[in-house]
Structure 1
Amino acid sequence: MKIRVQSNYDRKTDEDIFGIGIMLDGGRTYCKYPLGHQSYKTYSEAENAKNEVLQILRNGGSISYGINGSTGINKSEYVKIENSKINRNEKK
């Protein structure tokens, strides 16, 4: 799995913003976009968020897809990053 910072354009505010894209193992494109990580004002903010997401995934976190599951390995979609430690604490 690879993660990178991507430049996006916000049509509502007419400005360039930065977001995170994830390429799954075996994929060819950065097409999974974590919710809440798509509207950073500066590249450095997005880079810090990228490192945090990478740490969550390395420490047992997971990518959660919608109710219908994933659209496919190279298909664009928004995903949710779930930290397994937080989820265990919420259930108690």
Structure 2
Amino acid sequence: MRFVQDIPHAQFRISLYAWNGKYIVKIEAGPYEQTYKISEMDFSDPETVPTMLDEPFLNRVAQRFQEMAIDWQATGERNEVF
């Protein structure tokens, strides 16, 4: 996997990679990570990938991270780990 660039964001760490004919967008927040694989054929230039990361999309990403944290806490409590 080849690192392409970091995409600046105040709330998340966002990295772009290229691998096996795909761009991989990795979004991290604390212990959680979301990964999106996009065909390189969908973009003529990797510089256009950050335009896909608009406010509505990143708001949903933030909501998904919150849901992941809730799910993780709930399974820890059910299994008496936390």
TM-score interval (norm. to shorter): 0.3 to 0.5
TM-score, normalising length: structure 2: 0.38
- Of structures 1 and 2, the larger Rg is shown by 2
Q: Which has the higher contact order (CA 8 A, sep 6+)?
A: 1
TM-score, normalising length: structure 1: 0.35
Q: By percentage of residues, which structure has more helix?
A: 2
